[in-house]
Amino acid sequence: MRSYGTGRVKRGRNGRLQWRRQGFFPYALLLPAVVVVGLFIIYPICQAVLMSFYDISMGSAGRPRFIGLLNYRDMVTSAEFWRAIRVTLVYVAGSVSGAYLLGLGTALLISMPLFGRKLIRLCLILPWALPQVVVAMIWMLMYDYQYGVVNYLLRVMHVLDTSINWLGDPSSTIPMLAVLVPSIWNQYPVATLMLLAGLLMIPQEAYEAAAIDGANAVQRFRFVTWPGLRPVTNVLVLLFTVWAFKRFDLIYLMTQGGPLQATETLILQTYLQAFQFWNMGYAAALGTLSLVVSLAFSTGYLLKIRRRGEGVLE
C-alpha cells in the first residue's frame, strides 16, 4: 500500500529519492487549493488588514495616506462603535439561543411518532429554503404598521390597542425583536435537522434503562437526551454564532441598521462606513476587528470543547 505521509516510513535502498517523491507529491496535489485559498482568501484578508492602517477616501485619485493606528483609535473612541458591539452581542445571543431552542423543540416534537410526520418535517424545514431577501420581504409586509398581519392579529387579540411600528419604533428593543424573529425563523430548521439526527443517534436502550430506574420525562431529557445531543449542540452553537455575527442581508433589508442605530451590528457598520461614507480605511479596521473577534471566539470555543472531551467533529 502506498503511503502519502511525510515519506519517512518508506525509505528503501534509494530511500532519499523515494522520500522526495512521496514527500512532495501530496504537497503538489495540495498546491492548487493552496494557491486558490491564498489568492482569494489570504491575500484579500492581508489587503484589508493593510488598508486599516491607511486613510483611504473614495476615488483615491489622491493617494491613500498611511496613518498607522489612527483608524483603530477612532474606532475604540467612537460611541457608535461600542453601540454596534452591544447591538451585535444582543443580536447574536438572541439569534443563537432562539434558533437553537426552537430547533430543539421542533426536533423533539417530530421525533415522536406523529401522524403526518413527514409532511410536518417538510413544512418545518421550509423557512430555511427561503433566501434571506424573501424572508425580509415577507416579514416587512407582516410587520407593516397600517396593513400588516402582525399588528392586526395583536389588535384582534386585544394585546395591543394601537399598531406598533415594528421596524421604526424609537425604542431599541422593538426593532431588535423585529429583526430577531425572522432571523430565528429562517435559521431554526438547521437546528431542527441536526438535532433530529442527534436524537436518532441516542440509543433507545438508554431511555429504557432510565425508565427502569424510574426517571420521569424531565429526568430522561436531562440525563439521556441532553448529554446525547451535546456534540451536535456544540457544532450548532459554533455555526449559529458565526452566522449570526456576520449576518448582513436580512438586517440591512429590513432596517438598514436603524432606527437610531438600534439594529446596526458591527457588520452593518462596516458596510455603511465602506460603501455609504466611503471611509474604506476605517471600514477595514472594523472588518479586521470582526475577523479577530470571530476567530478568537471560534478558537476559544473549540479549545474549550476539546478540553471537555466533547469533540465537535470527533
Partner 1 sequence: MRTRRTSRTVPRWIIVGFVLVVAAATGPAAGSRLVEAGTRTVSVGTYQWTQPGIKDWFEAVAAAFQKEYPDITVKPEVVPVNEYWDKMIVQVRAGSTPDVMQVNGITHQLIADGALAPLDNWLKTTDIPKRWHPLQNVLVRGGNTYALIYSMSNWSMLFYNKDVLKAAGLQPPKTIDELYDNAVKLTKGGVFGFSMSTQQNPDDQMAVALSQMVYLHGGWWAKNGVPTVNSPEVIKGVSFYKRLFDAKVSPIGMDQQQRRQMFREGKIAMSLDGPWVIRQIIDDPAWKERLGVAVPPSAVPEKDRVFMAQFSALAIPKAAKNKEDAWKFIEFASRHPWQVKMLELTLQSPGEKGVTSAKVESEFPWMRTSWDVDRYATRLRYPEGLEEHFPAFRRTLAKYATQVLLQNRDVSQAMDEAQKEIQDSLVKAKR
Among 6, 60, 216, 299, binds partner 1 (CB under 8 A): 60
Among 18, 256, 294, 298, binds partner 1 (CB under 8 A): 256
- Does residue 176 contact residue 293 with C-beta atoms inside 8 Å? no
Among 1, 9, 33, 61, binds partner 1 (CB under 8 A): 61
Closest by CA to 247, choosing from 39, 121, 38, 95, is: 95
If the CB atoms of residues 224 and 274 are measured against partner 1, the closer one turns out to be 274
If the CB atoms of residues 63 and 117 are measured against partner 1, the closer one turns out to be 63
CB of 160 to partner 1, least distance (A): 14
If the CB atoms of residues 256 and 298 are measured against partner 1, the closer one turns out to be 256
CB of 9 to partner 1, least distance (A): 35
Among 173, 219, 276, 299, binds partner 1 (CB under 8 A): 276
- Does residue 262 contact residue 91 with C-beta atoms inside 8 Å? no
If the CB atoms of residues 52 and 165 are measured against partner 1, the closer one turns out to be 165
Q: Does 170 bind partner 1 (CB under 8 A)?
A: yes
CB of 74 to partner 1, least distance (A): 8
CB of 283 to partner 1, least distance (A): 12
Q: Does 312 bind partner 1 (CB under 8 A)?
A: no
State CA 250 to chain mean position distance. Answer: 13
Residue whose C-alpha cell is 501530496? 26
Q: Assign residue 130 a region: left if phi > 0, alpha if psi is -120 to 50, beta otherwise?
A: beta
Among 19, 72, 223, 278, binds partner 1 (CB under 8 A): 278
Residues 6+ apart with CB under 8 A from 242: 294, 297, 298
Burial class (CB in 10 A: 0-12, 13-18, 19+), 175: buried
Instruction: Please give the Cα distance from 184 to 300 (Å, whole number).
Output: 25
CB of 30 to partner 1, least distance (A): 27
If the CB atoms of residues 260 and 293 are measured against partner 1, the closer one turns out to be 260
Q: Which helix (H) or strand (E) holds 139?
A: helix 132-143
3-state secondary structure 147-164: CCHHHHHHHHCCCCCCCC
Instruction: Please give the Cα distance from 130 to 249 (Å, whole number).
Output: 13
CB of 105 to partner 1, least distance (A): 31
* Footprint of partner 1 (CB under 8 A): 57-62, 74, 144-146, 163, 165, 167-170, 255-261, 272, 275-278
